[in-house]
Structure 1
Amino acid sequence: MLSAYPACFFKEENGYSVIFPGLNHLATCGETLDEALAMAIDCLAGYLYLLRKDGEIAPDPLPMNEVNLSDIAKELEIESTESFINMVTVDVAEYARTHFERSVKKTLTIPAWLNAAAIERHINFSQVLQEALMQKMQIK
């Protein structure tokens, strides 16, 4: 399902700042306009993904005609010579499968006796490593 939210793009000295006014001023940036657009998609996808993962409901998108660039620039003290509003769209589930949930293969070394004992007990090495890393980093 496609999600679409208006974003304010402000051209600044070192690139573009991107603000999502309807999402508590969620923000990102990019050195070029193309990079800023890509970062805006990533930022929006990450925000909506985490909301869903935490069981929270995303706010409805603001209508574009309710977004005032001048007010936002003034509120955030952004000095920009060029600004515009653009709808940023993303399929959060598809983006998450590609960027947030894909597995990464890791190679590790353990003693042969420990490997044999774990195999004998049908231990899933990947699962154990994931659990140990999350425990070590205190991630639930």
Structure 2
Amino acid sequence: MKDIFIFPAVFSKDEDGYSIYFPGIEGAFTCAETFEEAVFMAKDCLELNLDGIEEIPKLINIEDIKLENNEYVVMIEADMVSYRKKYYSQPVKKTLTIPKWLNDLGVQKKVNFSKLLQESLKKELDLL
């Protein structure tokens, strides 16, 4: 599964700041006072919207985006692994089964079972 996406955002400069929306992603819009804040808010908006949908929208051609006089396109990156780490890092209790002899040996060797499982899962999922 792909975890990094780049989508075009339409920025418009108004008297009181910037308005931002993502063509092709329904409901994906935000605003900000400064350009720096607008880029940050656009990234946050894109990641939030991609996290909430099952199928990633097809990327729209920049040439197909109809712009008004005060609008321009800024490409925004969404790193979904970093987003999930930031917002979904609370611990989740898992029940699992291993042979008693393996558990006893792990306890004897002072193995941190949770840490080992996390590291193994990250390796298995190509997140390391």
1:39 partnered with 2:41: yes
The 4+ residue runs of structure 1 with deviation greater than 2 A are none
Which of 1, 4, 7 is the matching residue for 1:5? 7
Unaligned runs of 5+ in 1: 71-80, 105-140
Give, in angstroms, the shift of residue 31 of structure 1: 0.5
- Structure with higher helix content: 1
1:29 matched to which residue of 2? Answer: 31
Q: CA RMSD in A?
A: 1.8
Q: Is the 8 A contact 1:16 1:33 kept in 2?
A: yes
Within a 5 Å distance, the mapping from 1:74-89 to structure 2 comes to 82-89=70-77
After TM superposition, the structure 1 = structure 2 runs for residues 42-57 of structure 1, keeping only pairs within 5 Å, are 42-51=44-53, 56-57=54-55
Structure-2 residue corresponding to 1:109: none
Asked if 1:61 corresponds to 2:97, the answer is no
For the residue of structure 1 that corresponds to 2:41, the secondary structure is helix
Task: Tell me the secondary structure at the aligned position of residue 61 of structure 1.
Answer: coil
Indicate if the aligned counterparts of 1:45 and 1:96 stay in contact, CA closer than 8 A: no
Whichever residue aligns with residue 77 of structure 2, its letter is T
What is the CA deviation profile of residues 79-103 of structure 1, one whole-angstrom value per residue up to 9, with x for unaligned ones?
A: xx632101111111222212x1133
For 2:55, the aligned partner's letter is: I
Counterpart AA for 1:10: S
The alignment's TM-score, normalised by the length of structure 2, stands at: 0.64
Aligned residue pairs: how many?
89
C-alpha deviation, 1:10, in angstroms: 0.3
Aligned counterparts of 1:22 and 1:45: Cα–Cα separation in 2: 14
Identity %: 33
TM-score by length of 1: 0.58
